[in-house]
Structure 1
């Protein structure tokens, strides 16, 4: 991320999912602009796929520090292809939350925190909740 924006590219079969995530985190009041990369901008993030049946993760975000470094959100086809569309959207929104600087949220029972940042795909919503937005504001104003 640079200059208050994330510029992205994509080489993934999960277009509907990453488009959903980009829209979900571009809610009214969001400070970080999420837009496609262009010939005149620096690419900050790439969406791509991999396939590893031994890896339990459906999605993985990895940060690559340094000038002009591109972070990755990688979707594990071996997991994503077993999920319904709603769960795939949840995974994409969750991983983009990491790219925005948010960490996992958890809880149990009546004190559980409802958050797109739950670490388990089946347990969180597919859009940022009030908790997510509050944590986002703490990071980005």
Structure 2
């Protein structure tokens, strides 16, 4: 007990002597995005993971409202959603040509949080974001992260300036 208390006091004392410094956010962008000249990303098509995709749209829209929206007759579709089936490790792909495709082979094995992570992550690519660090939604691997990190937001802010 004494040892644990002593370590706690030493730890508290050390943090007072050497305060923690906040680090700057890490940004990572692709060389392309699918946002049109009006600063919108209109999507169409369909996927078996529409609920996950809609939740992903809401995640990005809750941070910057009015960018991602469904395609209407009066707009040009920037992104087309579809599904495919391939026995590989790829969950989904976003193409610079304007497609987001979900691999049913992988997606059907995921929890709802993992499906939302994939859909939100792929939308991030459509917005121009590249992969980032382990605790970010834009991490290169499927996780159950469904909220934007400081790095995700900083990357989106930087990408938005390019639109």
TM-score range for the pair, normalised by the shorter chain length? 0.7 to 0.9
Segments of 5+ residues of structure 2 without an aligned counterpart are 1-34
Give the equivalent residue in structure 2 for 1:63. Answer: 96
TM-score (norm 2): 0.73
Q: How does 1:10-49 map to 2 (within 5 A)?
A: 10-28=45-63, 30=64, 33-49=67-83
Give the equivalent residue in structure 2 for 1:4. Answer: 39
Moved more, 126-135 or 39-48: 126-135
Give the equivalent residue in structure 2 for 1:109. Answer: none
Question: Which structure shows the higher helix fraction?
Answer: 2
Segments of 5+ residues of structure 1 without an aligned counterpart are 65-70, 107-112
Which has the larger Rg?
Answer: 2
Two-structure CA RMSD over aligned residues (Å): 1.4
Work out whether 1:117 is the aligned partner of 2:150.
no
Question: How far apart are the structure 1 equivalents of 2:77 and 2:149?
Answer: 27
Tell me the CA shift for residue 32 of structure 1: 5.9
Contact 1:60 1:95 in 2 (8 A): yes
Moved over 4 A (4+): none
Give the equivalent residue in structure 1 for 2:13. Answer: none
**Among residues 110, 120, 125, which one is paired with 1:83 in the alignment?**
110
Give the equivalent residue in structure 1 for 2:127. Answer: 100
SS of match in other structure, 1:74: strand
What is the CA deviation profile of residues 16-44 of structure 1, one whole-angstrom value per residue up to 9, with x for unaligned ones?
1110111111024x166111101100100
TM-score (norm 1): 0.84
Which structure would you say has the larger RCO, counting Cα contacts within 8 Å and 6 or more residues apart?
A: 2
